[in-house]
């Protein structure tokens, strides 16, 4: 692998439900498979010396899905958070997004995970839950107004959910669509973008490494 690897990778994990349908299963099965792929992706990133992964797990718009699907996804979050709490070999975990929309027990688990892993080494996993880029910017602007600070790019960045988190060097979207879908709108200004038709649960290390090889060849220009 080329030594010119990104320090921070954003991933839009799209295609879970379509993958499930293609295999004759219901949507939640696809989300469970997607969770397993995310764990694999973090292991690959660790092997490849990537420092931070920002994963788009549940958007602010996803709350508009059917109550039954949202309920199943929340149950998956609960079991995933418990798994993280019991996992010994794991890096630092951070959550971004409007966690106030989650039930109290899930928020408490998030807080426990962040506290337990805050000094852990390895890949930092930033999990975007109930997250939307526009919502993040609005919430940041409200806090800026509240504090009465002078607005600059640096000051504003300090009010975003990703304060102290590096902007993504590259963003990968699986599942065929070719758009950011409200993911890291501020932070992605100079990210290298990669799109694949592969559904997220079927995404492989081979395809990831192929993207990293392409990334290494690109000349990044910060500005016009």
Neighbour order of strands in the sheet with 93-96: 93-96, 124-131, 52-59, 8-12, 170-173, 192-195
- Asked if pLDDT for residue 61 goes beyond 70, the answer is yes
* 77-89 per-position pLDDT tens digit: 999 999 999 988 8
Determine the angle formed by the axes of helices 67-86 and 104-117, rounding to 10 degrees: 30
CA 103 to chain centre: 20
Domain boundaries, the chain: 14-215
Q: Catalytic residue at 135? A: no
20-59 tens-digit pLDDT: 999 999 999 999 999 999 999 999 999 999 999 999 999 9
Supply the pLDDT for residue 22.
97
Q: What is the pLDDT of residue 221?
A: 74
Q: Which of 40, 62, 98, 182 is catalytic?
A: 62
Catalytic-labelled residue, pool 14, 135, 161, 167 = 14
Res. 164: pLDDT tops 90: yes
Q: Are 104 and 59 in contact (CB under 8 A)?
A: no
Known catalytic residue at 86: no
Q: 3 or 168, which is more confident? A: 168
CATH 3.90.1150.10 holds for 14-215? no
Per the structure block, which two tokens stand in for 3? 């030594």
């Amino acid at each position: 692998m080329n030594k010119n690897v990104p320090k921070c990778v954003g991933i839009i994990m799209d295609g879970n439900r379509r993958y499930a349908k293609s295999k004759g299963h219901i949507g939640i099965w696809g989300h469970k498979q997607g969770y397993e792929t995310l764990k694999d992706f973090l292991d690959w990133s660790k092997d490849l010396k990537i420092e931070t992964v920002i994963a788009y797990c549940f958007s602010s718009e996803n709350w508009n899905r059917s109550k039954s699907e949202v309920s199943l996804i929340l149950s998956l979050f609960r079991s995933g958070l418990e798994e993280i709490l019991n996992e010994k070999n794991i890096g630092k975990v951070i959550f971004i997004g409007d966690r106030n929309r989650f039930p109290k027990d899930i928020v408490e688990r998030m807080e426990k995970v962040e506290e337990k892993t805050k000094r852990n080494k390895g890949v930092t996993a930033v999990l975007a839950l109930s997250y939307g880029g526009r919502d993040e910017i609005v919430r940041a602007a409200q806090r800026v107004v509240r504090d009465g600070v002078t607005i600059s790019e640096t000051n504003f960045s300090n009010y975003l959910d990703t304060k102290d988190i590096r902007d993504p060097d590259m963003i990968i979207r699986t599942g065929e669509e070719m758009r950011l879908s409200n993911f890291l709108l501020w932070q992605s200004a100079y990210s290298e973008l990669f799109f694949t038709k592969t559904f997220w649960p079927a995404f492989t290390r081979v395809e990831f490494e192929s993207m990293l090889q392409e990334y290494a060849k690109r000349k990044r220009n910060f500005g016009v």
